[in-house]
A and B are shown apart, each in its own frame.
Chain A
Amino acid sequence: MADVTATGGTITYREAVAEGIAREMRRDPTVVCLGEDIGAAEGVFKTTVGLFKEFGPRRVWDTPISEQAIVGAAMGAAMTGIRPVAEIMFSDFLACCWDYLANEIPKVRYMTGGQVTVPLVVRTANGGGLGFGAQHSQAVENWALAVPGLKVVAPSTPADVIGLMAASIRSDDPVVFFEHKGLFASKGPAAPEGHVVPLGAAAVVRPGADVTLVALASTVPVALRAAETVAAEGIDAEVVDLRCLVPLDMHTVLDSVGRTSRLVIVEENPYQGGWGATVASIVADEGFESLDAPVRRVAAACVPLPFADSLEQVVLPTADKVAAEVRRLAAY
């Protein structure tokens, strides 16, 4: 495992995933990991490097290729009092175990009158930008957002991966933890020992006065690049990293819009039914008087993600597309 505990060091997003899990496994002997190829192979995305070596087969379960079983067994295991961290290799495959994620896990608490909790995390590699085609590239946080009873986490930086992983594993709620494939190679400051980022606390990652950009995971760097572009033109954009969709920190968003009076939402999922629609509807409801311009959503086109690199960039939000919307709103 990379030495990422040294202060002042940098760490990749990919290393942060393994580090975040390892810290919790050291802290809490009831945490176990399960999934395909997460043990000796250390994960197809190398996001579980070192775990098998350190914790062994008793706590790192290499499983058959059966998504329903990974998530369904995680639920049963959680009922015994352990905290399973289950990996679904690609978030697209959440569709293969949707019964467990939509019908079983989020309803256990409710349907037992509060008597059974299943404190588990389903981690999954999410999103596009790597040319993996229509069935291995989708950003599907909005699928999980549609199911009451699930918490939805999607970090954008290595330190947040560690801090939010800690909060997710310690949470008694079932959490779907989206790790963005396009961010795995990105680097950032290492998180200090004991670093925990509470679920449902958005971060203002770039303060600004003219336009608010709300982003999540991969769209955070996109929004930041767009903000740099328009800054050169005299437009001061604020960027809010939501970090979680459930709980959704609308206080930070409404506070920002209260100061800027303009809002652009940048989301990777297709426009139809995207998470930005929820953010926009709450701002329309509770922040209407703050607004001096229409709310704009920069989302993916409503098509399956194309295989071709050039087309993928046409479908997905880019800094240029975001900058164009920011200019339009600033001039409104």
Chain B
Amino acid sequence: MRPQDMAFPTYREHGVLYCRGIDPIMPLGLFRGVDQGGWDPIEMKFAMYTIVIGAQTLHATGYAMGIAMDGKVGTEDGEAVIAYFGDGASSQGDVNEAFVWSSVFHAPVVFFCQNNQYAISEPLERQTRVPLYQRAHGFGFPGVRVDGNDVLASYAVTRAALDQARVGQGPTLIEAYTYRMGAHTTSDDPTRYRIASEVEAWQAKDPILRVRRFLEQQGLADQSFFGEVDEQARVEAVKLRERVLELPDPAPVTMFDHVFPNGSPEIDEEREQFTAYLSSFAGEVH
């Protein structure tokens, strides 16, 4: 991604968020439930986390149509858009509508499907009978499958697709073939629906380990470099954890903020009544 490119993430795109220069405390504020995230999607060129599965593909398509209309597409320095989603989302109607639209409007959007083979418990066979990248052909644009556990290959394919989009060559579907190592959520128990040997086979393909081995074998980094990186990550994680625990709860009255851009008499009235109600407890601890 170049600085001018726009990303439309799922709610798990923390890596892309980090690369866009957004403070990782921001999504944690959202997950902790003390605010809504807080980054400026337009300034950071990274849209809000989309909670409803697949909806961001249409936001991305509309955004791509908008920048095309504004003449920001069609040169080497043009703008491009990337939408991230998963294998489960590929079954959603709106994702397929995004494929139709981006195709017929020739929209500068890259669909990046992180196929980790499970939508909670539903395996890939429950989403598709053909490899997902092949679907793009039916919609009229190129689809490519990349080894999603190969960092450099994923980078190369994404870069090429974004460059195609920015010069006006239309959409691409990338299927990054990978595996969900952990549970879907803290309430999910994957041992109920998949076998341990499958997980073990994928452990051997760990993308972080692979890039590390590659750098070592090429002589591009040594032990002290990795030690430094590990230490930096450890310190960063401890700091982040402390910051999360210190996140303040929002003031109750802020629930009325930002419902409408220019305010609203009804909301103003509700806020007024609620403020009066709150102040009726003056002096009490609440």
Chain A residues within CB distance 8 Å of chain B: 32, 58-59, 61, 63-64, 66, 68-69, 72-82, 84, 99-100, 103-104, 108-117, 119, 148-149, 151, 171-173, 200, 246-248
* Nearest chain A CB to B271 CB, angstrom units: 13
Residues A69 and B69 in contact, CB atoms below 8 Å apart? no
Chain B window 64-88, contacts with chain A (Cβ cutoff 8 Å), 1 for yes, 0 for no: 1111011000000000000000000
Residues A73 and B58 in contact, CB atoms below 8 Å apart? yes
Select one of B55, B65, B104 contacting A99, CB under 8 A.
B55
For B41, B47, B48, the residue with the greatest tally of chain A CB atoms inside 10 Å of its CB is: B48
Residues B42 and A200 in contact, CB atoms below 8 Å apart? no
Residues B42 and A76 in contact, CB atoms below 8 Å apart? no
Residues A104 and B55 in contact, CB atoms below 8 Å apart? yes
11 A-B contact pairs sorted by A residue (CB < 8 Å): A58-B69, A69-B94, A72-B97, A73-B58, A76-B60, A76-B65, A77-B69, A108-B48, A116-B41, A172-B261, A247-B266
Residues B67 and A80 in contact, CB atoms below 8 Å apart? yes
Select one of A32, A72, A99, A171 contacting B61, CB under 8 A.
A72
Contact count band on B: 35 or more
The segment from B30-38, B125-133, B172-180 found at the interface with A is B30-38
Q: If A64-B100, A114-B257 touch, does A104 touch B36 (CB 8 Å cutoff)?
A: no
* Nearest chain B CB to A194 CB, angstrom units: 20
Q: If A77-B63, A148-B259 touch, does A113 touch B37 (CB 8 Å cutoff)?
A: yes
Chain B window 248-286, contacts with chain A (Cβ cutoff 8 Å), 1 for yes, 0 for no: 000000000111111011100000000000000000000
Q: Using a Cβ cutoff of 8 Å, how many contacts connect chains A and B?
A: 143
Residues B36 and A69 in contact, CB atoms below 8 Å apart? no
Q: If A66-B100, A72-B62, A79-B63 touch, does A109 touch B260 (CB 8 Å cutoff)?
A: yes
Chain B residues within CB distance 8 Å of chain A: 8, 35-43, 47-48, 50-52, 55, 58-67, 69-70, 93-94, 97-98, 100-101, 104-105, 257-262, 264-266
Q: Which residues of A contact B42 (CB under 8 A)?
A: 79, 115-116
Q: Which residues of A contact B51 (CB under 8 A)?
A: 103
Q: Which residues of A contact B101 (CB under 8 A)?
A: 63-64, 66, 69, 73
Residues A103 and B55 in contact, CB atoms below 8 Å apart? yes
Residues B41 and A72 in contact, CB atoms below 8 Å apart? no
